[in-house]
Each structure stands twice: as C-alpha cells, then as structure tokens.
Amino acid sequence: MIFSFISPMFPGHQTPLSPVGPQARHIEHNLLLIFSITSIVYVIVIAVLAYGVVRNHAREGFVPHTLVEDPEIERKATWIVGAALGLTIILLLVMMVSSFYTSHSTAVLAQAQAIKIDVYGHQWWWEVEYPINEQPYRMVRTANEIHVPVGAVVTIHATSRDVIHSFWAPNIHGKKDLLPGYENDLTIQVDQPGTWRGQCAEFCGLQHAHMAFDIVAQSREDFDRWYEQQLSPAPEPASSQAIHGREVFLTHACVMCHTIRGTTAGATVGPDLTHLASRSMIAAGTLKNTRGNLAGWISNAQSIKPGVRMPPNPMPSSDLNDLLAYLETLR
C-alpha cells in the first residue's frame, strides 16, 4: 500500500524510488519497511508526549511540589517503559533481519556469465572499457555512457585513476566507491529499456558536481549493433571541411590528451573521442552533445566546468568550424 503511495512522488531517472532493476527494487522494499516502522513509532512517541504535556501541565507557573514520587505510579511506569524498550528491540531486530536479507538478495545475481565492464574514475569523468570476451582487439573504450542489454547481468569492475569517486545510478543499484589501490565490483541488472542517470557521489574536488554518466539499457540487438560500431575505428572524413578539421585536431594540443582510433591521436588523459558523436552528452553529463555546446567546450572548457583538466583552446573560428565538422563525423 505504502509502495503505491510513495513511489509516484519520486519520478525520474535518478532516484532510488523508481527502481528499474532487481537490486534497487529490493532496496526500495527494505527502505519502505523501515519507513513504515519508524513512522509509526514516531507518531506514538509524539502522541504520548503531547498527552503528557497537554493533560498535566501546570497552568500557573511553578506549582508547589512534593518532590517525593509515588512508588505505585513509579512501578507502573517502570513496566511500561520496560515494555516499550522490549518492543523497540523487537522492531530493531525486524529491520535488521530485513536489511541482511536485502543485502543478501542484491548479491545473489549470477556473476559467472555476467558482462564485465571496467569503469575508471577520473577527475571528473568516467572512463569505460568493455572487455566482454577478454580479447584485446575486441575491446571498446568510451566515456560517461555505459550501454547494457536489458535483462543481462552486468558486473561493473571499478577503480580510480586518481582520487576517490563513487559510482551511483540510483534507479538500478546503490553506490560503490572507486578507490585508488582497490578494485570493487558492482553487479547490476536493468529490466527496462531507457536511459538512467548516475552521478559521482563521493566528493572529488572542484567539479564533483559535474561528474555524471548515463546508463543506456537497450535490447540485445541494439546493444550488439552499438558494440560493433564502437569497435570500428573512426571513419575517414569525407568533406574537405572535415578533412581540414582532422588536421586541426592533430596539430593542436588535443592529441596530447585524447585518442581517436584510426588517427595518430592516442593519448589517454581525456576521454576517447573515436565515437564522440554517438554519445548524447559531453563533459560527464554537463552538456548536451550539440554543435554549439561542443564549440563552447573546445574554446573554453574552463568557463563551463571551472577547474576541468582541459585547457582553453583559442583558434580561428574557421578552424573551429572545421574541427566541429570533423568531430561530428565521429559516429
């Protein structure tokens, strides 16, 4: 009953109360159980308090007091307090068992045939690697956008390249920290096609606020198609504009930080741009991937995401236009 009442208050693509996977669903149930129990106890406690104050309170200042308590009343009160305490213990046990059970059920997904995805946290973006069949030549590298097949079990294998981050897509599962020197696994499953937003949950410096990602759940076929496409190197640019754009890219600082497979750009400081145009957002969920946003980002990322690890790139607007034309070919 409470479920149908509460959940609609939390629509959205970044909330634990609209679950789209078994784990988030188990957790929601656990949460609502605790919510119900504690609310009821709260109401009772406040009611007793109100009763005591309203019924007994002295109406004219300090009443003369006896300061000697009636042993009969004291004994009765002792019983009631004892009973309340007993009930508290029982309720706590209920909530504890429910929590253990939930922890257990979120951990039982079959890990064996899971799709394994490596996620690396960076200040302030997510590097994503698919070693699905663990052959290096079939490895896909992308950023800030994780595609998964609907209904498949996926293990996110997570660590950090710098400071601590935390991977959290609340509609799907709770969070898991990305710690330098540790490797943490988070096994998830998404039951509903769609795009679910996640965000870094551990304070990680200046742009912790702009470190989001999307989980795109799609049918098996769509996923496979996407995967094959991501495997291919960047297409050869066709228009002269785009060809010049590639020239611009390769002769500017871009190559010192970015990879575009199929070109000589192979640095790993920033996101892999080989299939940049296939992503819906740039800069870790900060901006929609539009031409205008890209232009602004490339000319001066600092004004959009102050502190970001990408310097401003002043260039003549014709160069910028060509560069954008090139980047748009990176589907």
Partner 1 sequence: MSEQRAALIEQTISTAEEAERARNLERIWAEPKGFIGWFKAVHHTTIGKRYMVTAFAFFLAGGLLAGAMRLQLAFPESHLMSPDLYNQIFTMHGSIMMFLFAVPMMFEALAVYFVPLMVGTRNIAFPRLNAFSYYLFLFGGLMLFAFFFVNSGPDRGWFAYVPLSGPDYGAGKRADIWAQLITFTEVSALAVAVEVIVTVFKLRAPGMSLNRIPIFVWGQVVVAFMVIFAMPGVVVSSTMLLLDRTASTQFFNPAVGGDVLLFQHLFWWFGHPEVYIIFLPGTAIVSTIVATFSRRHVFGYMALVLSLIATGFVAFGLWVHHMFATGIPQMSEAFFTAASMMIAIPAGAQIFCWLATIVTGKPVLKTPMWWVLGFFFVFIIGGMTGIFVASVPVDLQVHDTYFVVAHFHYVLIGGAVFPLFGAFAYWFPKITGRMLSERIGMWSFWLFTIGFNITFFPMHILGLRGMPRRVYTYPADAGWTVLNQIQSCGYLLLFAGVSLFLWNVWTSLRRGEAAPPNPWQAGGLEWATDSPPRAYNFLNLPTVNGSEALWDALPDQPVISGLHEDVREIVTTRIHDAEPDGRDELPEPSIWPFIAAVVTTALFIGSIFRPIAVSIGAIPLAIALIGWFWPTREESERRRRRDIWQKS
Where along the sequence are the contacts to ligand CUA (CB under 6 A)? 121, 124, 165, 200, 202-204, 208, 211
Please report how close the Cβ of residue 209 comes to partner 1 at its closest, in angstroms: 4
3-state SS, residue 18? coil
- Selected range binding ligand HEA among 25-33, 85-93, 127-135, 263-271, rule: CB under 6 A: 85-93
For the CA atoms of 90, 93, 99, 101, what is the dihedral angle to 10 degrees?
A: -100
Return the closest-CA partner of residue 214 out of 148, 277, 155, 259.
Answer: 148
Q: Rule CB under 8 A: say whether 275 interacts with partner 1.
A: no
Using CB under 8 A, which of 188, 204, 217, 301 touches partner 1? 204
Q: Does 36 bind ligand HEA (CB under 6 A)?
A: no
- Could you give the C-alpha distances from 43 to 98, 127, 223, in angstroms and in order? 22, 47, 50
Interatomic CA distance for residues 242 and 278, integer angstroms: 17
Which member of 27, 178, 282, 325 binds ligand HEC (CB under 6 A)? Answer: 282
Residue 95, SS3 per DSSP: helix
Name which of partner 1, ligand CUA, ligand HEC, none residue 44 binds, using a CB cut-off of 5 to 8 Å depending on partner kind. Answer: none
Do residues 278 and 222 touch, judged by C-beta distance below 8 A? Answer: no
Stretch that binds ligand HEA, among 65-73, 84-92, 110-118, 184-192 (CB under 6 A): 84-92
Q: Return d(Cα 331, Cα 275) in angstroms, integer.
A: 5
Q: Which of 3, 12, 36, 38 binds ligand HEA (CB under 6 A)?
A: 38
Comparing CB distances to partner 1, the nearer of 142 and 166 is 166
**Interacting residues toward ligand HEA by CB under 6 A:** 38, 41, 45, 88, 91-92
